[in-house]
Amino acid sequence: MELYLSLACDSARQAASGTRIDVQGAFNDLFAPGFPAVQSRMVIVAGIEWDRSDDGSYRFRVDLLDPSGKPCLTVEGETQVDRRAPDRPPARTCLIMPVENVVFPVPGRYRFSVSAKGRVFKGSALHLFEDPDVAPADG
């Protein structure tokens, strides 16, 4: 099992084919006039590729960790996974989670952490910067 995708973006959707993800406005850096800062809306996207022997219902958790490593946002859910034969692609779950009014208490490096089946995977980072010249986000 592995985390094959982790990002923050403006919008995302699973394509009709089920094999592609359409992502718009992916970002790694955010600028705010001061802290705590609020991002009025963003979408968290995470992709898990399952082991071929996995079969059944699995709980997952996505945490956004602040610069000290403490969760400042948590999203939990459940997904169904079917066992795959060697001649088929491995089972994958694409998690597309819109969130609103995300509070970033301090500037610094934030990181996504994805947990499933008792394992924890490091996801992508978000860097928050203070810039007094940036207008506050609409909220």
pLDDT in the model for residue 139: 43
Verdict on whether the full-model pTM lies above 0.85:
yes
Indicate the domain borders of the chain.
Answer: 2-130
Task: Tell which CATH classification among 3.40.50.970, 2.60.40.1930, 2.40.110.10, 1.10.3720.10 matches the domain 2-130.
Answer: 2.60.40.1930
Distance (Å, whole) CA 85 – CA 39: 42
pLDDT in the model for residue 136: 64
67-96 residue pLDDT tens: 999 999 999 989 999 988 899 999 999 899
106-136 residue pLDDT tens: 999 999 999 999 999 999 999 999 998 887 6
Q: pLDDT class for 137, splitting at 50, 70, 90? A: low
